[in-house]
A and B are shown apart, each in its own frame.
Chain A
Amino acid sequence: MNTMTRKEIGLPDLLGNGKTLKQHRDEVLARTHKTGYYNGLEKLEFKESDPITYEKLFSRIRGGLVHARETAKKIAASPIVEQEGELCFTLYNAAGDCILTSTGIIIHVGTMGAAIKYMIENAWEMNPGINPGDMFTNNDCSIGNVHPCDIATIVPIFWQGKLVGWVGGVTHVIDLGAMTPGSMSTGQVSRFGDGLQVTCRKTGVNDTPLRDWLHESQRNVRTTKYWILDERTRIAGCHMIRQLVEEVLEAEGIENYTRFAHEIIEEGRRGLQARLKAMTVPGVYRRVAFVDIPYDHPDMSLASEFGKLNSIMHAPCEMTIRPDATWKLNFEGASRWGWHSFNANQVAFTSGIWVMLTQTLVPTARINDGAYYATEFKLPKGTWMNPDDRRTAHAYAWHFLVSGWSGIWRGMSQSYFARGYLEEVNAGNANTSNWLQGGGMTQEGDAHAVNSFEPAACGTGACAIKDGLNHAAAVWNPEGDMGDIEIWEMAEPLLYMGRNVKTNSGGYGKFRGGCGFETLRMVWKAQDWSMYFMGNGYMNSDWGLMGGYPSATGYRFEAHKTDLEARIREGDTLPLGADRNPEDQGYEHHISATAHVKRDQQCTTTEAIFENHDLYLNYMRGGPGFGDPLDRDCASVEKDINNRFVLPQYAEKVYGVVISQGDDQVWTVDVAKTATRRKVIRRERIARAIPTRDWMKEERARILTKHASVQVRHMFATSFGLSAKFKDEFKSFWDLPPDWELPESELGVPSFGSTYRMDLAKMPDVRTVTLVEE
């Protein structure tokens, strides 16, 4: 041969077949697109010809992934990882497609896959090189990560000199050096305040982290102890899984392993389609969700004035299930990304959906990229879930991710209900907040940051056959754990003054949403301390279902200059327990009359100083309700009142019960009088309501005169700007004249960034990975 081999001219041949990783991935994609089957696998020959070995491979690998996660998390010191289980390990084939994953935050099936695909697309094998024993670290939100605090360690797996796959491990770190302490910070308007971001950087060779990485990364975060132990957690888990794969390859051979690594994905693709056909009804489902961005407020301290405006995030969802059980999720009409930290990458949006659907549609241990290949997504470029500007901040992408998906959830529930699978119906989910975050110097004298993961146990939505669960779960975290008070008090200089069910927080209904809970925290022995709030306040982010009400919104309570030090010393009364009804302002009776109290709906704030003995109420939201509340049986309402799940006056007004309280303080519902009262309420409803078409005329008049708050108009203006279809449908529905327009320029608020964009794809030497229809 008179031509040099790839090796001689310095080209790596990781696959041993002369093809680059990109060529290999392109071929997999081409076969998939051409045939409709993953990698062209019309038949699952291995599975069908040798099912015992196939299942043995599945069980061993899946068991190993879960085992690695459970073992590795004991290395971590961060309560987020060790208590709440915010970690996950995933195995990929050479093309970067997920084969199997552990339990945990499985949104990272897609996010780590996106990082691997980015390395493949951008020829990482040439530079910086991919070798056995390497480690790569990624948390870059512009190539798929949810938010920068999810740090991924990715390790290539070689067998007999050839790359056969990858393993990734992710942990949610407690701080990553953003503008303000905590892992999901506010205040930054762009990526440049989001904290340390690392783009698939080689951070280890020969199974050893590089010293420059260790030094640099630790000094870029506040919580070095947690940071380094989280890194060791990820590395240990990845290496356990790599060893497991080596043992499997030794036992079963490379041929069987490779066939398994592709067929299991095609099996996953077929599995989703089969479940759609088994559980749903074909048709078109439309839903929508919103969340507030209340940035025009004195307690939102922003470095950039152009971010200081109120707006609303908008996620309209059209879900089409076709007769052949294929489906499409279309979010055309969504609002534009913004100068806040609630933006999300397309992969975070699509991959997070599986977290939700594994709890109903695909409750299986075989979670992999098959579900992705079975789903068509449309996420228009420029929206909050697919920004077209590399400057966007993503630190608290969950602010709307969790509820931006709720339209799918409610649509699926409509389908389960129609089909009679009532046990699967779920009215929705809590906006899983408040997030108590902040930092400073702790009682131990350490520089520290906190992100209380108590919202991992919010109220769940009502089902069609039972109430939602109280303080039980978060849709994004299958562990459903609020954590132990003692552990949080060790990690944070914040004493618990109470931890109670949050009365009236669950949405009303025939079956009510689960109640959230609230904890009152007092700053104690801190040495410089700041905190802030993160959650919904002016709006609900999820609806009820079929006549059920949405859950209660959030609110904020904080108190400064409380004089609690003196009250404790003097044995005076203290603010303890629940803030049962915020209208009563109960805590204020037990603190100084001159205390500085903030009690309002501004549930997103920026870093504020808290002195010792200041108070902070951490209120976790409830879930939405199902069905007309007048259908709720009297015994359940009576139980709710006596358990303080609902205030008596709202039980009377909403549930229509006639109640009385005995000398023993126990409430009783009069069933006969309630039946009569409910008939009256139904008549009152009819009397106060008007025909929908009449109301539409009134609303149309308000639209013609542009009568709405600036945040409502801003939301519509940005959605109109991205989708002519959405605008046309809006104008058509309201029968607006052709010249009716709503340009952003007429709103009188900053429109910085609305015209000129800075897309990642415009950077030199960058090939972006697009995984949705844009």
Chain B
Amino acid sequence: MSIYTQEQVNYLVEGKLDWETTMRMLSMPKDEERFGMYLNTLQSKLPWDDKVILPISLHLFIAQNKKTKQWVTKCSCGHEFGDYRKNWKLEALIYVRDNAEAMHEVYPALMAPDTNWQVYREYYCPTCGTMHDVEAPTPWYPVMHEFEPDIEAFYKDWVHLPLPEKAN
């Protein structure tokens, strides 16, 4: 198993890690220490100091609110989407590309879906406008709750880290 430095993990998160090390990461057994180092990197980049518990998207984190100790889903800008067990999309802003004009803003005619078949649902942070997700479902499709992690089992039995306090 290979061991990597905090600096290398920082570069990985930036998308600037050298290819030789990246190839080693791909081909060698995984380093269990990565998760802790990854959290360090992410924490150092964020403008807030609530504890990151699990990253769930490029700009979305399950984090422990420093004051309340509640676990929430939180944007990198600081916007909170509520309890981490709830589907954050229901608390986001949505823009639905459900007509040809809206579709052709992002792809040329003939290279975008026909909105009688498929729409694009773009979910934005209400505070900073970051696009956290683009869904591509049929009309009528329920908003999918995509990820419900078992954080307790993950921390305790998989990465062997102390579980942060949780008030909710």
CB of B142 within 8 A of CB of A733, answer yes
The 6 closest A-B pairs by CB, nearest first: A682-B129, A420-B38, A689-B93, A323-B153, A283-B149, A552-B111
CB of B90 within 8 A of CB of A693, answer yes
CB of B118 within 8 A of CB of A540, answer yes
| Chain A, interface SS category | mixed
Residues on the A chain within 8 Å of B44, using CB: none
Within 8 A of A (CB), among B68-119: 89-96, 105-114, 116-118
A734 and B108 in contact (CB under 8 A), knowing A547-B58, A550-B136, A628-B58?
A: no
Interface presence of B50 (CB below 8 A): no
Q: Which stretch (A126-134, A172-180, A200-208, A505-513) binds chain B?
A: A505-513
Interface presence of A423 (CB below 8 A): yes
Residues on the B chain within 8 Å of A422, using CB: 12-13
Residues on the A chain within 8 Å of B92, using CB: 691-692
A711 and B116 in contact (CB under 8 A), knowing A653-B106, A691-B94?
A: yes
Within 8 A of A (CB), among B36-62: 37-39, 54-59
Interface presence of B128 (CB below 8 A): yes
Interface presence of A247 (CB below 8 A): no
- Output the residue of B38, B93, B145 with the most chain A CB within 10 A: B93
Q: Give Cα A254–Cα B54 distance, bound, in whole angstroms.
A: 51
Within 8 A of B (CB), among A543-562: 543-544, 546-550, 552-553, 555
Query: What residue of chain B has the Cβ atom nearest to residue A541's Cβ?
Result: B136
CB of A546 within 8 A of CB of B114, answer no
Q: Give Cα A733–Cα B91 distance, bound, in whole angstroms.
A: 15
CB of B15 within 8 A of CB of A423, answer no
Residues on the A chain within 8 Å of B162, using CB: none
Interface presence of B9 (CB below 8 A): yes
CB of B137 within 8 A of CB of A281, answer no
CB of A420 within 8 A of CB of B34, answer yes
Shortest distance in angstroms between B120's beta carbon and chain A's nearest beta carbon? 8
CB of A553 within 8 A of CB of B111, answer yes
Interface presence of A46 (CB below 8 A): no
A688 and B95 in contact (CB under 8 A), knowing A421-B30, A552-B107, A681-B129?
A: yes
CB of B107 within 8 A of CB of A650, answer yes
CB of B12 within 8 A of CB of A465, answer yes
Interface presence of B157 (CB below 8 A): yes
Interface presence of B161 (CB below 8 A): no
Interface presence of A527 (CB below 8 A): no
CB of B138 within 8 A of CB of A312, answer yes
Query: What residue of chain A has the Cβ atom nearest to residue B33's Cβ?
Result: A420
Complex interface bits, A403-435 against B, C-beta within 8 A gives 1, otherwise 0: 000000001001001111111100000000000
Shortest distance in angstroms between B86's beta carbon and chain A's nearest beta carbon? 12
Q: Give Cα A279–Cα B54 distance, bound, in whole angstroms.
A: 14
Q: State which size class the interface on B falls in.
A: 35 or more
A689 and B122 in contact (CB under 8 A), knowing A465-B12, A733-B143?
A: yes
Q: List residues of B whose CB falls within 8 A of some A CB.
A: 9, 12-13, 15, 17, 22, 25-27, 29-30, 32, 34-35, 37-39, 54-59, 89-96, 105-114, 116-118, 120, 122-124, 126, 128-151, 153-154, 157-158
Residues on the A chain within 8 Å of B142, using CB: 729-730, 733-734
Q: Give Cα A421–Cα B55 distance, bound, in whole angstroms.
A: 12
Q: List residues of A whose CB falls within 8 A of some B CB.
A: 277-279, 281-288, 290, 292, 312, 323, 363, 411, 414, 417-424, 464-466, 504-505, 508, 510-511, 538-540, 543-544, 546-550, 552-553, 555, 581-583, 599-601, 626-631, 647, 650, 653-654, 681-686, 688-693, 695-696, 699, 702-703, 708-709, 711-712, 715-716, 729-730, 733-734
Residues on the A chain within 8 Å of B29, using CB: 278
- Output the residue of B39, B105, B130, B151 with the most chain A CB within 10 A: B130
A539 and B118 in contact (CB under 8 A), knowing A550-B136, A553-B113?
A: yes
Shortest distance in angstroms between B116's beta carbon and chain A's nearest beta carbon? 4
Residues on the B chain within 8 Å of A553, using CB: 107, 110-113
A547 and B110 in contact (CB under 8 A), knowing A281-B54, A689-B122?
A: no
Q: Give Cα A107–Cα B151 distance, bound, in whole angstroms.
A: 34
Q: Give Cα A312–Cα B117 distance, bound, in whole angstroms.
A: 8
CB of B140 within 8 A of CB of A702, answer yes
Please tell me which one of the listed residues A418, A599, A628, A696 contacts residue B131 in the complex, with CB atoms under 8 A apart. Answer: A628
CB of A599 within 8 A of CB of B22, answer no
CB of B124 within 8 A of CB of A287, answer no
CB of B129 within 8 A of CB of A685, answer yes
- A sample of 15 inter-chain contacts (CB < 8 A) reads A278-B29, A282-B158, A283-B149, A288-B137, A288-B141, A414-B147, A423-B26, A538-B114, A543-B135, A552-B107, A631-B58, A681-B129, A686-B129, A693-B90, A708-B140
Q: Give Cα A414–Cα B54 distance, bound, in whole angstroms.
A: 11
Query: What residue of chain A has the Cβ atom nearest to residue B156's Cβ?
Result: A323
Please tell me which one of the listed residues A363, A546, A582, A689 contacts residue B133 in the complex, with CB atoms under 8 A apart. Answer: A546
Please tell me which one of the listed residues A312, A686, A716, A729 contacts residue B126 in the complex, with CB atoms under 8 A apart. Answer: A686
Q: Give Cα A431–Cα B143 distance, bound, in whole angstroms.
A: 23
Shortest distance in angstroms between A198's beta carbon and chain B's nearest beta carbon? 37
Residues on the A chain within 8 Å of B133, using CB: 546-547
CB of A286 within 8 A of CB of B106, answer no
Residues on the B chain within 8 Å of A424, using CB: 26
Q: Give Cα A692–Cα B145 distance, bound, in whole angstroms.
A: 13
Shortest distance in angstroms between A536's beta carbon and chain B's nearest beta carbon? 9
CB of B137 within 8 A of CB of A290, answer yes
Please tell me which one of the listed residues B15, B27, B94, B158 contacts residue A690 in the complex, with CB atoms under 8 A apart. Answer: B94
Query: What residue of chain A has the Cβ atom nearest to residue B137's Cβ?
Result: A288
Query: What residue of chain A has the Cβ atom nearest to residue B127's Cβ?
Result: A686
Residues on the B chain within 8 Å of A730, using CB: 142
CB of A692 within 8 A of CB of B91, answer yes
CB of B129 within 8 A of CB of A716, answer no
Query: What residue of chain B has the Cβ atom nearest to residue A689's Cβ?
Result: B93
Q: Give Cα A441–Cα B125 distance, bound, in whole angstroms.
A: 59
Shortest distance in angstroms between A670's beta carbon and chain B's nearest beta carbon? 21
Q: Give Cα A653–Cα B112 distance, bound, in whole angstroms.
A: 15
Residues on the B chain within 8 Å of A284, using CB: 147-148
Q: Give Cα A555–Cα B111 distance, bound, in whole angstroms.
A: 7
A281 and B131 in contact (CB under 8 A), knowing A538-B117, A712-B140?
A: no
Query: What residue of chain A has the Cβ atom nearest to residue B112's Cβ?
Result: A553
Residues on the B chain within 8 Å of A715, using CB: 138
CB of A709 within 8 A of CB of B124, answer no
CB of B58 within 8 A of CB of A627, answer yes
A689 and B130 in contact (CB under 8 A), knowing A417-B55, A540-B118?
A: no
Residues on the B chain within 8 Å of A464, using CB: 15, 58
CB of B55 within 8 A of CB of A418, answer yes
Residues on the A chain within 8 Å of B137, using CB: 288, 290
A682 and B128 in contact (CB under 8 A), knowing A286-B145, A414-B146, A549-B134?
A: yes
Shortest distance in angstroms between A738's beta carbon and chain B's nearest beta carbon? 18
CB of B144 within 8 A of CB of A418, answer no
Q: Give Cα A504–Cα B112 distance, bound, in whole angstroms.
A: 11
Residues on the B chain within 8 Å of A281, using CB: 54, 149-150, 154, 158
CB of B59 within 8 A of CB of A628, answer yes
Residues on the B chain within 8 Å of A288, using CB: 137, 141, 144
14 new A-B contacts at CB < 8 Å, known A420-B37, A599-B110, A730-B142: A286-B147, A287-B146, A417-B56, A419-B35, A420-B55, A421-B34, A539-B113, A626-B58, A650-B108, A689-B93, A689-B94, A692-B92, A709-B117, A712-B138
CB of B109 within 8 A of CB of A546, answer no
CB of B30 within 8 A of CB of A279, answer yes
Q: Give Cα A281–Cα B152 distance, bound, in whole angstroms.
A: 10
Residues on the B chain within 8 Å of A686, using CB: 93, 124, 126, 129
Please tell me which one of the listed residues A414, A508, A511, A601 contacts residue B114 in the complex, with CB atoms under 8 A apart. Answer: A601
- Output the residue of B9, B39, B59, B116 with the most chain A CB within 10 A: B116
Residues on the A chain within 8 Å of B107, using CB: 504, 552-553, 650
